[in-house]
Structure formats: structure tokens, C-alpha cells
Amino acid sequence: MDTDIRHMKWWGWGYEDVSFDDSNKPALWPYLKRELQVDKEERTPAVSFEEIQLPEKKTNKGFCDAIKGVLAEDQIADDKKTRLVHAAGKSFRDLWKLRHGIVEYAPDCVVFPKSEEDVVAIVCAAHEHGVVLIPFGGGSNIVGCLEPRDREDRLVVSLDMCRMHRVLEVDQYSLTARIQPGVYGQHMEDQLAGHGVTLGHFPDSFLHSTLGGWVATRSAGMQSDLYGKIEDMVISLRMVTPSGTIITRTVPKSSNGIDVRHLCIGSEGIFGVITEVVMQVHHLPEYEDWFGWLFPDFESGIAAIHECQRQDCMPTVTRLNDPKKTALSFAFKSPKSGFKEAIGKAFKWYIGSVRGIDFGSCCLMVVKFEGDYDTFHTRQRDVGAIYRRHGGVCLGAEPGRSFAAVKFDFPHLRDYVMDRNIMADVSETVTTWSNLPKLYKKGVADIERAIRDTGVAPWVGCHVSHSYHTGASLYFTFGCRQRAGQEIEQYLYAKKAAEDAFMENGGALSHHHAVGTEHLPWLEEDISPTGVRAVQALKDGLDPKGIMNP
């Protein structure tokens, strides 16, 4: 195994030697305890590795003999730890079951291709011998895209792409980069930086997810307002299917019928395995910095983002928290002392007494600007003027820089609350500007009502982090005390309320988390029965034996 590749812990987020530390966040647990009406703190850590029992391994001699003739010994693994790491993604349901020692499905073995030739050999052998293949990137998926189960009880193999992790070529004149799919976010950016360029794609899972996973799930990064979603960055790709290899040309645009690239982007491994992608890249910015703004309410913040879109004047990052997410952000902060504390209190007095902003309904906006000297400062000035017209107050660089310093730490917070028997998860959607306020209010109300139905106090917050000319995303976070013995049912009830609200009020089932098994019940409603038949026809044509991530 390559020494620079580490998988996440089997029972939570991040590496096994990394956990969430609240020692410098004294306000966090008191805030959560008060909001969720927790009477006493009870801890339920994950079961030990030794207590885990995996399903018995299935065998398929024909397939195993075929791949052993192609792959090296260290490219095939079926030990308990490797199987367990590849047994699930990172949804609440996945983690709750793992933490309680419930492993209903696990791959029978894991293979680690090093080249497209390896992938072709594996896919051909699987097709010939009726073996299920599930492509695996970083394992960060939260909607059930990695479930290693099969209704026909065939051998299930996890296809871990982590050894195909190189930036193969950078064309600095055309600003394109040819990249293998198994590269993790930071490793990719480190390689690109050596050529003076960046992809500019930074999802919350950045440290633990891969380029191939981003493409296969139509990912969005926090800098999408400038660089777009992942599908806006893909110039061409190669994907190995049971019926052959799809290859598209490296050209900026074309008129050659249906765009085959977009059959592969977002395909979630059901058609084949992405083996190479040519991506649009950008020169590294000369200047970049983060800032915080405070708005009187969520509506005024949304109006400010809308005007920035209309004026073609967007920051690189725009992340608007509603009042609940703002309160959580404040509770997440490390305390100040001495002079900084005095300045903070004075500024808080100014915002409340002079500017008339109510801290119970105010909304924090975090923004990032980048570019050359003139672009950076001009955009910062023009955006600031728009924000002030909508009642925004600039908090300076400190809140933005504080967010930037911990921007990839937030997924660790779920492990922290799950240790304390608290359910926490997310659902995200997207809609048009005119429908955004309605969908936001209905989404919050319906998720809160569903959680109350289970007999506990709800916490529901929302933020906007991706916006477009015609609309924006809404990213809901929800949590509550778990009902003992009903934890999964309670979670699914809240999750259903969220997705039902999206479908009934003009949203999509997902903006960037994909479909998987979690969202599958709403797919037909989202893309129409005929749309589902179109996908099934593609599946049948490219994968007639149904071996790819069924």
C-alpha cells in the first residue's frame, strides 16, 4: 500500500488519530445542551474493532483467478480492517450502525488498480464472472452510494482508486490538467500548485474525498460562485464500462449530439469506472483573504447575494448562515482575552445599539475574495457597497479567517455529538430565487415538526453556499436527542420530512450530495418516470449484466 495514502476511520470522520477537540470552544456544549434540552451528558462511544462481526466472505474462483493473473499480491485485500473501511460511507445511518457493531453488508474483497489497464482487466473479469463492482474514492459519501450489497448474492468487490493519484499533465497555455481519479483533494492541489495553478474545488470533504468521487457525484465546492460546480470544470474524461471504454475529446465545446461526458458525470458508478479526467484549471491568485459580514436577517442576506449575481459581482466564496447556524458559529468560536475581548464587546455594543441588529435574528456571512491586486480590491469594494445597501455590517477579516482555518473540521462535529447520543445530519437542495424564501421556511418548519413528532426538541439550521444567475442552494443541518431503540427510524423520519419538503415546494432532491440509496425514493418524482427509464436504458446498454454499483 502506498505510504502516503490513508483511509478514514471506520466508525467516523477523518483519520483514526484525529478527533474533534472542544477544549478551546467552551460555549459549544452548553449551547447544544440548551438547544437540544439535554438533561445530562451521556457518552456512547463506538464499539471496539474486535467486537465487529463482518458477513462471511463469498468467493468466485473464476474472477479471483483472473485478477490474480493481472494484479500484484498487494493490490488485492480481504482482511477484516480493509473490508470494514470499505463497508459504508459516512451518512448518519452508516455511522450509527457501524458505531453499534451492525455491519449488514461488506465487500468480499477490495482491489487497488494502479492504471487504466488494471481497471479494464478487473471490469472485464467481473463482467465475465458475474461479480459486482463498487468504485470507491475516499469513502466520504453520505447518501448510500457505497452500499456493498447485491440482491442476487454475487461476489461484491470494492474498487479502491487511491493508487491512481497523479496529476499526469498540465497545459499552462490552455489551462487544463489531465488527472487520475483517485487523487485526494489536498494531494491534487499540492501537485497543481507546482505548476502555478489550482482547480479551485474545495468541498467540505476536501481532505478525504477524491476527484473521481467529485465527478461521479456532481460535487460542489465552497468556491463554486467563481469556479462553478465540478461539471463546469470537466473538459473530457475516460470511463471504463462493461461494454467498452468511453473516451471524449479534449475540446472546450462541441456539437456532437448528446454530451456523453454528462452521462458519466454524476453517474455514481452505475455505468463504469472513471479512469482519467481533463479538468479546467486556473492560475493561483496573487491575493486572497476572508471577511465576515453580519446581516439583520436571512432575507436581507439573500437579497444581497441576489444583487451581487445581478451585478455580476460575486466573491469567490459566499456562505450565508441563517440565525440558527449563526448562533452555532458563535458558539463554535474560541474565546478572546484582554484587549481583543474589550474590542469585541465594544463592537458588539455598536452593532446592537447603533446599527440596531438583533443578535437573536442576525445572520453571519463569510466571504472570500481573490485575484490580482486590482481585481481583489475592486471586487471587495463593490461587494461591500451592495452588502451595506441591504443592511450588512462588515466584521472585518477575523471572522472570515477563523472560518477558513477550520473550514474542513465541521464534519468532525457529528462524531462529537454522536458520542453524546445526538442525531445530526444534513439535507441540501436548490431552487430559483423567487422560490427560495418559501422553500427555506417550509424546509425548516417541516423538519422541525418531524423531529418534534418523535418527542424531542429539534435543532434546524440552514446556510446558502452556492448561488447562480437563476437561484441558489439551501443546505439544511438538523439534530436532536436520539430516542433509544428508535434511532434509525427517528433519523429516517426527519430525513423524509426534508426531502418531501423539497419535492413539494419546488426544490431538487439534492444539489451536490448525489442520489445513492438515501435519496432513491424521490428520484422518479425529481426527474420524472420517463427520466428514470432513460437512465435505466443507459444502464442496460452499458452494463447489461448489472454488475456496476447496482
| Rounded CA separation 485/96 (Å) | 12
One-letter amino acid for residue 102 of the chain: I
* CA dist., res. 458 & res. 479, Å (int): 6
Of residues 229, 227, 302, 225, the one with CA closest to residue 462: 302
The answer to whether 241 and 269 have CB atoms below 8 angstroms apart is no
Amino acid identity, position 499: E
The sheet with strand 76-77 has its strands ordered as 76-77, 109-111, 156-160, 132-136
Q: List Cβ neighbours of 47 (8 Å cut-off, separation of 6 or more).
A: 99, 100, 101
Q: Looking at this protein, which amino acid is placed at residue 545? A: K
How far, in Å, CA of 428 to CA of 447, rounded?
12
Choosing from 227, 387, 440, 475, the catalytic residue is 475
Strand segments, DSSP code E, in 397-451 are 422-432
* Location of C-alpha cell 474565546: 335
Whether 368 contacts 292, CB under 8 Å:
no
Q: Give CA–CA dist 314/161, Å, rounded.
A: 35
Residue 261 burial (CB count, 10 A): 19
Residue 287 catalytic? Answer: no
Q: Cβ(59)–Cβ(154) under 8 Å?
A: no
Catalytic residues: 475
